Amino acid sequence: MKNNIPVEKNKEYILEITGTGFKGEGVAKVENYTIFVPEALEGEKVKVRIVKVNKNFGFGKLIDFEVKSKDRVEPICSIYNKCGGCQLQHYSYHKQLDFKRQRVVDAIKRIGKIDIKDEGIKDTIGMEDPYRYRNKVQMPVREEGGKIKIGFYKSRSHDVVEVKECFIQEKVADKAIYVIKEWMEKYNISAYNEKKNKGLLKHIMVRKAFKNNDETMIVLVTNSKTIPYKDELIESIRENIPTITSIIHNINTKNTNVILGQKCVTLWGKDYITDYIGKFKFNISPLSFFQVNPTQTEVLYNKALEFADLKGNELVFDAYCGTGTISLFLSENCREVYGVEIIKEAIDNAKINAKQNNIHNAKFIVGKSEEEIPKLIDQGKLPDVIVVDPPRKGCDEKLLKSISKTNASKIVYVSCDPGTLARDLGLLDNLGYKTEKVQPVDMFPMTSHVETIVLLTKENQ
Ligand SMILES: C[S@@+](CC[C@H](N)C(=O)[O-])C[C@H]1O[C@@H](n2cnc3c(N)ncnc32)[C@H](O)[C@@H]1O
């Protein structure tokens, strides 16, 4: 025992898994010292090799089982424990949904200190088929030992695990990997080397429309301004992928973690694909943000509509609106909606989206929500309902304070991070907004990501 740490690196122990971490990993205690065991489930008894020892916690590698959980299933993917993409494939789907709800419950009670009955936090809405749900995939292209590898980064590293079939992506992405790899090998096209900032092909991105004839876009991200043997590539893609409607060259010569560069050249077909959420039509270009699980996006947005409970005469604010998708969903049921978003290109898209759906009561503003919404309020625009859908870090406190001065009767909060959601619900509680209903929605099956939509109502109205 070193420095009172009760386990030693590289030694094996039999541990009882008594808890679950944020990423779905098992948690065991040895004399109050915490050990995280990825791929172990609560209730299991497992043999573990200690691989890392920190001052307050350590990590163990699962070696064998003494007792298995009834919630354990065989992962569908053969590279599941190498690739960093999924964390919960060894959970039954029912258990995944329970895990996500429990994360929300814990955060709301511990961080937000919200006094809400358990029934107020609903069961997670899952998918009928929780596989092949993603409409977009981005995969790094690298070379190792003279072999091209296209796949995903290993967890916490930039080593690429080769992928032949990914069960959360659309099947067309598997085909694209095959065709592009074959073309690279045939014409000796180099893969990118991050350390040297050399080599041609950095990433491939594939996007597919789920509700519009399977329209498919392939984007090749290169470290060069031109692509050799591009006609041969176009021919091969068209021959092997009949649904292809768009082949794009994206130029990114910077040595950066940002995948896409700003410049796109259409090599063949259209500059965008078109897809629908509900009855609304969206043009999706390579750089546009678009929700990656279109089936559950519709579920989420319909929940937003239900929580907003609009009667037709309301003024609505949609803060952090992206390409205006929620604004458009709400527009038909209210008098006017204002969407605010920090990225100009997203607002350009939002305006186009509104126009092509014949929506005239949605207005869009570029800027920070915490600056633009107070300005709207100062101009006398007093909202009845406010939707917020912030990034992981949650809402700016300035925005929440300014909202609370408006007398808006409802706030609909869409969140991709239970921790910051809970913090903001706590702040809103102090500002007079009561958490009424909490609904987790499974937007990312097989992963530990949790999406939640919450209805808050103004007290004493
Ligand atoms: C989770 S996305 C939501 C997008 C959209 N509501 C949707 O469903 O597609 C969060 C958005 O907030 C934007 N954003 C980040 N910080 C912002 C800020 N301070 N003010 C306004 N928008 C911001 C991001 O660019 C991103 O588009």
Known active-site residue 416: yes
Distance CA 223, CA 231 (A): 19
Give pLDDT tens digits for 33-85. 999 999 999 999 999 999 999 999 999 999 999 999 999 999 999 999 888 88
Same structural domain for residues 146 and 269? Answer: yes
Residue 117: what pLDDT? 85
Residues 153 and 233 in one domain: yes
> For ligand 1, is residue 329 a contact (CB within 6 Å)?
no
Contacts made by residues 77-80, CB under 8 angstroms, sequence distance 24+: 77/165, 77/166, 77/167, 79/151, 79/161, 79/162, 79/163
Please, which residues bridge with residue 435 across strands?
456
Which residue type, as a one-letter code, is found at position 404?
S
The count of domains in the chain is 3
Closest atom of ligand 1 to CA, residue 346: 27
Provide the β-strand partners of residue 244: 216
Is 155 a residue whose pLDDT tops 90? Answer: no
Contact 253, 261 (CB under 8 A): yes
Residue 3's pLDDT band, with cuts at 50, 70 and 90, is low
Q: Which domain holds residue 453?
A: 97-128+293-458
Residue 435 lies in a domain: yes
User: SS3 of 212, please?
Assistant: coil
Q: Is the distance from the beta carbon of residue 391 to the nearest atom of ligand 1 less than 6 Å?
A: yes
Task: Assign 42 to helix, strand or coil.
Answer: coil
What CATH number is given to the structural domain containing 51? 2.40.50.140
Q: Is residue 148 part of a domain?
A: yes
pLDDT at 382 over 80: yes
Q: Does 461 score more than 80 pLDDT?
A: no
Q: What helix, strand, coil percent values describe the chain, rounded to 5?
A: 25, 35, 40
Any domain includes 4: no
Per the annotation, binding residues for S-adenosyl-L-methionine are 291, 320, 341, 389
Question: Closest Cα to atom 6, ligand 1: which residue?
Answer: 321
Query: Within a domain: residue 200?
Result: yes
Strand, helix or coil for residue 191: strand
CATH of the domain at 368: 3.40.50.150
Q: Which two tokens stand for residue 161?
A: 């695990």
Is the predicted pLDDT of residue 354 greater than 60, yes or no?
yes
199 and 304 assigned to the same domain: no
User: Between β-strands 336-341 and 315-319, what pairing exists: parallel, antiparallel or unpaired?
Assistant: parallel
Residues 6+ apart with CB under 8 A from 322: 289, 341, 346, 350, 389
Q: What is the pLDDT of residues 282-296, one digit of tens each?
A: 988 898 888 999 999
Please identify which of the residues 83, 166, 334, 416 carries the catalytic annotation: 416
For ligand 1, atom 16, which residue shows the shortest CA distance? 342
Classify 222 as helix, strand or coil. strand
Q: Judge residue 433's burial from the number of C-beta atoms within 10 Å of its C-beta, 0-12 exposed, 13-18 middle, 19 or more buried.
A: buried
Query: How far is the C-alpha of 263 from the C-alpha of 367, rounded, in Å?
Result: 23
CA geometry: angle at 314 spanning 346 and 310, to 5°?
90
Together in a domain, 370 and 424? yes
